[in-house]
């Protein structure tokens, strides 16, 4: 291998490791925010967190960076795997035991499953936020003043029902579980002061048995991917050697299991609670 090819390969691996480390930090943060949905407050905490994440300009810039990191991480992973396959085009006729960890051999396959999970997640949540696909929405009571008064006047009863708390009879500050059609009917077609109701959408999805099973399986694939990715990224960045390898593998496995259990707890918890 020429010096240039060797340098390019090392650069790609370091870039992949840095992007992976960034994504692992994000996963822990994302899983922590999701846990807010298990609080017995009707989604108040989670909706407040989602509102902050959706309206803060720094977070909006971060979302663009995050999306770019996901794409670049996937692209680099595929490129490096193809290079590995080309480096050994002919399979051994006799199976031999290898010191390569199973997680390393199957990274491309678990990575594909994680990519499928990402697409599914974006279709159900992020694309709703971008108004690309329909979902469920919430409206704050203060935002009613920005609605078309003609539509509000014609649909007073439906509007009152949206904001009335069925348990106490009082009015809520936020009305959720609203479809796009209801938004247009009650508030007018030009009304735009609404947000995605991620809490209600999550509850609906995790009460769909097929979706729940698919989600749990894909998160398990993410777990397997992370078990190898954690120590591998640190090795690539220079933290390796007999003194560190075992500890890094244990920390990586612990991290992967904790993140997996956090995501699973939300999915199973919402299914049980609702």
Q: Is 233 in contact with 77 (CB distance < 8 Å)?
A: no
Range 3-88+107-134+200-273: architecture per CATH: Up-down Bundle (1.20)
Q: Is 253 in contact with 224 (CB distance < 8 Å)?
A: no
Whole-number Å distance between alpha carbons of 55 and 49: 10
The label of the residue with tokens 């509000």 reads 152
Question: Which carries the bigger pLDDT value, residue 206 or residue 24?
Answer: 206
pLDDT in tens, 62-94: 888 888 888 888 888 888 778 777 776 554 444
Question: Taking the model in full, what pTM does it have?
Answer: 0.82
pLDDT in tens, 160-170: 999 998 878 88
First vs last C-alpha separation in the chain:
58
Extents of the domains making up the chain:
3-88+107-134+200-273, 137-196
Instruction: Give the burial string for 76-110 (b: 16+ CB within 10 Å, else e).
Output: bbeebeeeeeeeeeeeeeeeeeeeeeebeeebbeb
pLDDT in tens, 6-27: 545 667 778 878 888 888 899 9
HSE of 152 in the Cβ direction (CA atoms, 13 Å)? 10
């Amino acid at each position: 291998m020429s010096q240039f090819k060797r340098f390019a390969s090392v650069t790609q691996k370091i870039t992949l490791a840095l992007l992976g480390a960034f994504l692992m930090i994000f996963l822990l943060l994302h899983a922590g925010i999701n846990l807010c949905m298990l609080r017995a407050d009707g989604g108040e905490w989670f909706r407040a967190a989602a509102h902050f994440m959706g309206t803060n300009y720094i977070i909006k810039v971060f979302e663009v960076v995050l999306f770019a990191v996901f794409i670049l991480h996937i692209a680099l992973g595929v490129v490096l795997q193809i290079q590995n396959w080309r480096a050994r085009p002919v399979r051994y006729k006799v199976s031999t035991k290898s010191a390569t960890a199973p997680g390393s051999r199957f990274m491309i396959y678990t990575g594909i499953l994680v990519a499928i999970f990402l697409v599914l997640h974006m279709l159900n949540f992020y694309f709703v936020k971008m108004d690309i696909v329909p979902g469920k929405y919430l409206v704050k009571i203060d935002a009613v003043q920005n609605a078309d008064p003609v539509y509000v006047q014609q649909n007073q009863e439906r509007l009152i029902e949206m904001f009335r708390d069925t348990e106490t009879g009082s009015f809520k500050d936020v009305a959720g579980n609203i479809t796009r059609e209801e938004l247009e009917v009650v508030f007018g077609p030009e009304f735009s002061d609404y947000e995605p109701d991620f809490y209600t959408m999550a509850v609906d999805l995790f009460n769909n048995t097929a979706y729940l099973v698919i989600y749990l399986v894909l998160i398990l694939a993410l777990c397997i991917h992370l078990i190898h990715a954690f120590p591998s990224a640190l090795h690539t960045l220079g933290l390796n050697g007999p003194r560190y390898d075992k500890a890094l593998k244990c920390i990586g496995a612990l991290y992967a299991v904790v993140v997996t259990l956090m995501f699973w707890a939300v999915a199973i918890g919402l299914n049980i609670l609702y």
